[in-house]
Amino acid sequence: MKKRIITLLTVVVSILCGCSGINTETAVLNEKSTVQAISVTTNSNDYNYTVKDVKNLQDFLLNRPVSDNLKDKPYDMNNDGVWNVFDLCMLKHKLLSPAQNDNDTVVVYFSRTNNTEKIANYIIDITGAEKYEIEAEIPYTDEDLDYTNSSCRANQEQNDKSYRPEIAEPMESIDRYEVIYLGYPIWWGEEPRIIDTFLEIYDFSDKTVIPFCTSASSGIATSERNIKNHVPIGNLLEGKRFSASASKSEVEEWINGLNIMKNPVEEKLYLTINGTKISATFEDNSSAQALKEKLAEGDIIIDAHDYGNFEKVGDLGFSLPRNDTQITTTPGDLILYQGNQFTIYYDENSWNFTKLGHVDNMTQEEIKKLLGDGDVTITLSLI
């Protein structure tokens, strides 16, 4: 009767606090798990929780086999000396909380003998990155990695470039990460095929990826080349091979030498003309900067008219600082005239002007066609 009450309470609390994944037919908790937690000495504030921790705690509560050693795991989230469904809910909430989601760097690694995991943990300690361990749906055994056996599992996989071992619990998304350290051991001179599985699941076209590997002797070059050729990657930095005995200071020296400064996002000027929105690149001067500041307050609408068969010009409604120089315009130039007139050129003209920018990737014919004949309304914006 006691177990039934515990089961019912577990299900009710799970619903109320938003936890999922507990099977109501089998959710009979291990009685020990509801009485006291395994001895905990780890400070939870210093522990990097992952999805695997959620699975560990859930399996423990459901009296399922747990592959990890749970001794010293900081799963007593509310410090009441008990591991129960409340701790499971708090753990899930911690992983999804905004504070956790601010981190834009993650260390992703696959490690069979813990050598790569050691390097991964060094990187996490040094950078404060989040952590995700790639685990095979069918775990690798020692026999699977027997180099002397030509028919062992790893040998067969490495000899088949199309083979893709399944990942046990893939990451839901990598969208919020900008920098991804990708770690793996070297198998048969290359990355394990499960790394290829990981690469094919997600979009890395706007990510910075930094490979690192562990091996007894083989280098990282072949695996780097494979990764580069396998999927589009925004910025693939040069990786690093570490030995099993590599120190934390060696890893830190490598990280400090990486060029992972983010490229600043170039702010664009947008012009909407006759319902078509085009972009332009700002000039680097105080006049363009002042225009940006005005646009930050809101869009600017200009009623422009033809002048001289080479430009459309209209009153800004305010004045900007001038940086006049003698200019021969080209089609697409955006010009400030007399401090308060905005001009878009579709042909050449020479005069003392201040250049504000230039339209991106449009020919003279395309600009003329967009501007049309007669008066036109031009809306300037930053988005």
Q: Is 118 helix (H, G, I), strand (E, B) or coil?
A: helix
Give residue-wise pLDDT tens across range 241-272: 999 999 999 999 999 988 775 444 568 999 99
Q: What pLDDT shows up at residue 178?
A: 93
In the predicted model, is pLDDT for residue 90 greater than 60? yes
Q: What pLDDT shows up at residue 286?
A: 94
User: What is the pLDDT averaged over residues 164-180?
Assistant: 94
Give residue-wise pLDDT tens across range 95-127: 654 444 458 899 999 999 999 999 999 999 999
CB burial class (10 A; 0-12, 13-18, 19+) of residue 217? exposed
Q: Could you tell me the pTM of the whole model?
A: 0.47
Q: What pLDDT shows up at residue 248?
A: 95
In the predicted model, is pLDDT for residue 24 greater than 80? no
**Whole-number CA gyration radius for the chain:** 30
User: What is the pLDDT averaged over residues 10-33?
Assistant: 42
Query: Where does the pLDDT of residue 383 fall: very low under 50, low under 70, confident under 90, or very high at 90 and above?
Result: confident
Q: What pLDDT shows up at residue 4?
A: 42
CB 196 within 8 A of CB 164: yes
* Interstrand relation of 341-345 and 311-315 (parallel, antiparallel or unpaired): antiparallel
